[in-house]
Structure 1
Amino acid sequence: MGAPAPATGPPGTTATAPAAAPVLAEASLTTGGVARRLGVSPTTVRSWERRYGIGPARREEGHHRRWTPQDIAVLEAMCRLTARGVPPGEAARLALGAAAPVPSGAGAAPGDGAHEGPAEGSPDRIDTANAPAAGPVSPECRGLTRAAVRLDTAEVARLLRQVVDDMGAVAAWTEVMMPALRAAGRRWAGEGERYVEVEHLLSWHVSTALRRVADRPVPPRPGPPALLAGMPAELHTLPLEAVAAGLAERGLPYRMFGAAVPAEALLEAVRRTGPAAVMIWSQAKHTADRVLARRAAETAWGGRGSRARPVVLIAGPGWAGHQPGAGILRPRDLPGALDRIEQLLT
């Protein structure tokens, strides 16, 4: 939301400042607007206001309640604290500040707003059900998706650092990052690109968290590397970055070439690096190229009597229905792919 435009008048007249009430209206939001901005339901916002006094500090008779930036900052703190598991009553006291009294009777109670289901149509209903088959959505995934919907970059970054440090990159990708990204993608598709900014923000922070692991200054084991590349028309790289992070955690050498690697450049990279394994990623069927996969598997290096070829791993949903040929494997999941690459490299 941009800053209010300066008041102007006809030539030769002096512009006058707008009245106080319009300024307040332009610089503030309604309860519904605040709920949409933070990714919680209006019902939850009203419940927090009723139970804990987290509401607009300034009200005007005959007008909708308006939330100023200072009011919204308190509500953002409440969202962060409850997402981290702090009981709502304590979260309210921390958000309001030790000097600010919480209304009498405020405290955790059955039907507390922090635990109410979000209203239908609220951004808080971003679907996190498509998690790996191992079980229900984890609290970390739920917290991450909610922070992303709020566009709370500090909380998204903190949560990603925490899950990577606590779980390792592979488990963090499988149990938290990937389900959250799928949820954002489904929400975007279902809302006509309304939540594309959520997916972009989350993707950038996931990439940052994975690269923090992949770029650790730990000397890898000696030996031929694994080569990671996207197909020539493939722009998605996050799954490859998860593979790179997993290889780095195991101390295995790799070369990451990223998205949209031209066919001849990929084959030249194979000849120059002499990899034991080549993983090529395809997110959609139109980017999967069986001919290029076969050419990569047939690319040899080394002198006479010591010629070698890589094993190619085709990965990603774009390869669905493709039958691997000679020298080509199709791993089922990230841990399986890492195990197979480690076998090939060692």
Structure 2
Amino acid sequence: MGATRRPGHTRRNDTDAALTTGSVARRLGVAPTTLRSWERRYGIGPADREQGRHRRWTAVDVRRVEEMCRLTALGVPPAEAARVALREAEAEAEAPRPARHGGGRTTLTLTLPLGNVRQECRGLARAAVRLDAPAVESQLRSTLGEYGFTTGWEEVMAPALHAVGRKWASSGERYVEVEHLLSWHVSSALRRTAHAAASEGASRSAPPVVLACVPGEQHTLPMEALTAVLGERGLPTRMFGAALPAEALYEAVRRIGPSAVVLWAHSRNTADRALVHLVAEAEWGVRGARTHPAVLVAGPGWSPTAGAYAPGVERLTGLRTAADRIESLLAV
């Protein structure tokens, strides 16, 4: 459904639409407090304000602060960056900005392959490229607060991580610091917020779900996201992190007696058929009434025909569907 125009009113196009400070912050990966500070100290902010309304950012205003971000990321002092941005943004307002090739991080900001994603994802990626840890933290806090774990992971955090990872993989060892910084902050945000959600919502008495990365597997973030979503739903979990040895996993399963075990493998080299058999055959309980866990495999390393690993083994795809399937198992 489209908006109804008032008589005599000319609608702005998307490039000239006025934005709130929060929208600009999400788009550029800058904390709202930083934008307000720059406006107060250096005059980098929205030029006009309608009577009785909050200030709105026009396309020219956004170009100024975008230039400020670019220059400060290159190490230019904020006061000098503001002077340059104010001088240059107006001249560039009517023409596309050419790509600058003076530094690696600037080129990455302009060419990071994100595709069709939310503005929050673009803001998070840009903040990571600038190595702006406070802005990354602010973006993550805002994303999880507004969208929750599932949408926040699938539509903001995961696409940003994949884009940074692809850029790193295609550029040798360049930009590895960007990937590490973003991964660390995503992990911290997931654990911190998940702990709070689990403390409020964990109320079920069902046996917990064990989540672990297979031996040799260091990619833990998807499992951390799943742990967070399950905790948000009040489901009990035991997360063992990266590269858990097979013997340790087997003993943990026997000691805990979980309702389900989720094994993550990012690559085919770490997806171990023998480990799936070992976990599926683990049992506990009194003689004559022993119990086995449901075994679920997740990650691109596993074959789509997961049942070939052992009878009853299922392959999970997607965070939301994975959480739904696990919740259904615990409800039985």
TM-score, length-normalised on structure 2?
0.70
CA, structure 1 residues 107+305, in 2 after alignment: closer, same or farther (shift >3 Å)?
farther
Matched, 1:266 2:249: yes
CA, structure 1 residues 232+109, in 2 after alignment: closer, same or farther (shift >3 Å)?
same
Matches within 5 A, 1:196-215: 196-215=176-195
Q: Which has the higher helix share?
A: 2
Whether contact under 8 Å (2:297, 2:306) holds in the other structure is no
CA RMSD of aligned residues (A): 3.3
Whether contact under 8 Å (1:185, 1:199) holds in the other structure is yes
Residue matched to 1:172: 152
CA, structure 1 residues 180+81, in 2 after alignment: closer, same or farther (shift >3 Å)?
farther
Whether contact under 8 Å (2:280, 2:294) holds in the other structure is yes
Q: CA deviation at 1:286?
A: 0.8
Q: Aligned letter for 1:229?
A: A
Matched, 1:336 2:321: yes
Matches within 5 A, 1:1-346: 86-87=57-58, 89-90=60-61, 92=64, 106=90, 109-111=93-95, 116=97, 118-119=99-100, 122-124=107-109, 125-129=111-115, 136-216=116-196, 217-218=199-200, 219-320=202-303, 323-324=306-307, 325-346=310-331
Alpha-carbon separation, structure 1, partners of 2:122 and 2:181? 16
Q: Which runs of 5+ in 1 are unaligned?
A: 1-72, 130-135
Q: CA deviation at 1:104?
A: 11
Secondary structure at 1:200's aligned position in 2?
Answer: helix
Alpha-carbon separation, structure 1, partners of 2:191 and 2:45? 27
Q: Which runs of 5+ in 2 are unaligned?
A: 1-36, 47-55, 69-77
Alpha-carbon separation, structure 1, partners of 2:88 and 2:170? 42
CA, structure 1 residues 139+264, in 2 after alignment: closer, same or farther (shift >3 Å)?
same
Alpha-carbon separation, structure 2, partners of 1:104 and 1:230? 50
Alpha-carbon separation, structure 2, partners of 1:87 and 1:269? 57
Q: CA deviation at 1:86?
A: 4.3
Residue matched to 2:30: none
Alpha-carbon separation, structure 1, partners of 2:277 and 2:248? 15
Secondary structure at 2:262's aligned position in 1?
Answer: strand
CA, structure 1 residues 167+118, in 2 after alignment: closer, same or farther (shift >3 Å)?
farther
Whether contact under 8 Å (1:283, 1:317) holds in the other structure is yes
Alpha-carbon separation, structure 2, partners of 1:327 and 1:177? 32
Q: CA deviation at 1:151?
A: 0.5
Residue matched to 2:72: none
Alpha-carbon separation, structure 1, partners of 2:259 and 2:293? 5
Q: How many pairs are equivalent?
A: 260
Alpha-carbon separation, structure 2, partners of 1:188 and 1:106? 34
Residue matched to 1:50: none
Whether contact under 8 Å (2:227, 2:237) holds in the other structure is yes
